[in-house]
Amino acid sequence: MRSAVAIRPCTVSDLEASPCFEALLAEYGVESGIPEFGPPVAQMATYKHLEAAGALQVIAAVQDGELVGFVTVLRSVLPHFGKQVAITESLFVTSEARSTGAGLALLHAAEDLAREQGGEALLVSAPIGGRLEKVLPGVGYRATSRIFFRELV
């Protein structure tokens, strides 16, 4: 029997060093990717730069010492409204670990982080028709906008 999932802050380097990270990114790409972009090619230097600037934090879900999910949280002031918000740049849990509650635990940890940093809201994007889109309204989120995509190349 597997142990409970632990939710804890981590660094971009911690994610990158995890032996499970590449497989997790591949699964993320299949479920959450934009087909025109192809598989994810995480720009770790960019993530590290944002982290060093204090604009990005990472929270990991770990089970039996193995990375099973993560959320990357960006923080910014929305210039049009003058409100500080947090945005989940990525939120993902492996399909195998979803029954553990890791996804909701990561979401709540992101909310707590945003509050601690003075955020007034948390914006979460979810793939259309995906599991997260179905879960969010049941935990207090409401749809406010839709994101549209058009390839320009």
144 assigned to some structural domain: no
Residue-wise pLDDT for 35-51, tens only, equals 899 888 999 999 999 99
Question: Residues with Cβ < 8 Å from 73, sequence gap 6 or more?
Answer: 56, 57, 58, 59, 86, 87, 88, 89, 110, 113, 114
CB hemisphere CA count around 32 (13 angstroms): 18
Residue-wise pLDDT for 57-99, tens only, equals 999 999 999 999 999 999 999 999 999 999 999 999 999 999 9
Domain that holds residue 132: 6-139
Give the SS3 label for residue 66: strand
38 assigned to some structural domain: yes
118 assigned to some structural domain: yes
152 assigned to some structural domain: no
Q: Return d(Cα 40, Cα 106) in angstroms, integer.
A: 21
145 assigned to some structural domain: no
Residue 33 — pLDDT band, cuts 50, 70, 90? confident
Residue 130 — pLDDT band, cuts 50, 70, 90? confident
Q: What is the pTM of this model?
A: 0.93
146 assigned to some structural domain: no
Do 50 and 56 meet the contact criterion of CB atoms below 8 Å apart? yes
CATH code of residue 48: 3.40.630.30
Eight-state DSSP code of residue 1: -
1 assigned to some structural domain: no
Q: What's the number of domains the chain is made of?
A: 1
Do 133 and 100 meet the contact criterion of CB atoms below 8 Å apart? no
Do 15 and 59 meet the contact criterion of CB atoms below 8 Å apart? no
Eight-state DSSP code of residue 120: S
148 assigned to some structural domain: no
Torsion of CA 105, 89, 142, 144, to 10 degrees: 170
